[in-house]
Amino acid sequence: MSATKTRWFVWNPNGRVPHFEHSTTRNARLEAERLARQNPGQKFLVLQSVCEVVKDDVVWVEHEKPKEEQCEIPF
């Protein structure tokens, strides 16, 4: 699996699941500060992703073509 860029999320433990991905720590911190100002007394956490996992259920495996399909028709 190839490496992907780290992402940051802002989460309020008493709110909804975060959906927006921030590309930098700075942007996530600014958003957490903005939300905290709008919601006095509520906690906003800046979370950093450390890895991701994907389970693939479908894998395509190409097989050799039968000999009659291997000849090329010149038109």
- pLDDT for 73: 64
pLDDT tops 60 at residue 1: no
CB–CB of 35/20 below 8 Å? no
Higher pLDDT among residues 13 and 75, named by residue: 13
- pLDDT for 10: 98
Place of tokens 């479908």: 58
CB–CB of 21/7 below 8 Å? yes
Q: What is the pLDDT of residues 39-72, one digit of tens each?
A: 999 999 999 999 888 888 888 888 777 666 566 6
| Domains of the chain by residue range | 1-52
Q: What is the DSSP string of 12-32?
A: -TTSPPP-PPBSSHHHHHHHH
- pLDDT for 52: 86
**Angle subtended at Cα 40 by Cα 39 and Cα 42, rounded to the nearest 5 degrees:** 75
- Confirm whether pTM is higher than 0.85: no
